[in-house]
Amino acid sequence: MEVKDAIKGRRSVRKYKRTQISGLVMEELLDSMRLSPSSSNEQRWSIIVVTDAELRDKLVSASGNQKFVGECSAYLVGVIDRGDDFRTIDLAIALDHLTLRAVEMGLGTCWIGDFDPDEVSKILGIPKDKEVPICMTLGYPALSPGARKRKKLSELFHSDRWDNPWK
């Protein structure tokens, strides 16, 4: 699969098969994150890979009561030190690498923005000097949503100046 096909094929999956991800597949996915670029190549982020069903069930209520959090194969919880914006950006880049590799390997993901970071931290024993800026579900899709409508290039991009839309 070419990268452009993974980009076009990536969807936010909210319905998963209850299938465990093999250790080898998980290693491949995590390695795609490890290889992502980061500010000064410091890789100042961590991921808690939650595969325990009981823990994932506890995380449902801390994640906006989104039931698919408990149904996915793994819930990825991004952890950074408090107070450094580049860490959040680096974490997002790493997770995006994973989303594309997941498509290539037949898995799906969904970014989770509706969650209580303090409750997630409490459930997973994350220290107070750390924060959780983002979470993500990962698993084998039970349903693959269709492509959503996207804006035109001219609505998103400008050429040289703000008042000159991309043509």
C-alpha closest to that of 48 among 144, 115, 107, 147: 115
The values of phi and psi at residue 131, to 5°, are: -135, 160
The segments of the chain whose pLDDT lies below 50 read none
pTM of the model as a whole: 0.90
Say what the pLDDT of residue 96 is: 96
Say what the pLDDT of residue 52 is: 96
- What's the DSSP call for residue 146? P
Say what the pLDDT of residue 85 is: 73
Question: Where do the domains of the chain lie?
Answer: 3-156
Q: For 26-45, how does the pLDDT look when each residue is reduced to its tens digit (9 = 90+)?
A: 999 999 999 997 887 878 89
Tokens, residue 48: 């808690």
Q: In the CATH scheme, what is the code of domain 3-156?
A: 3.40.109.10
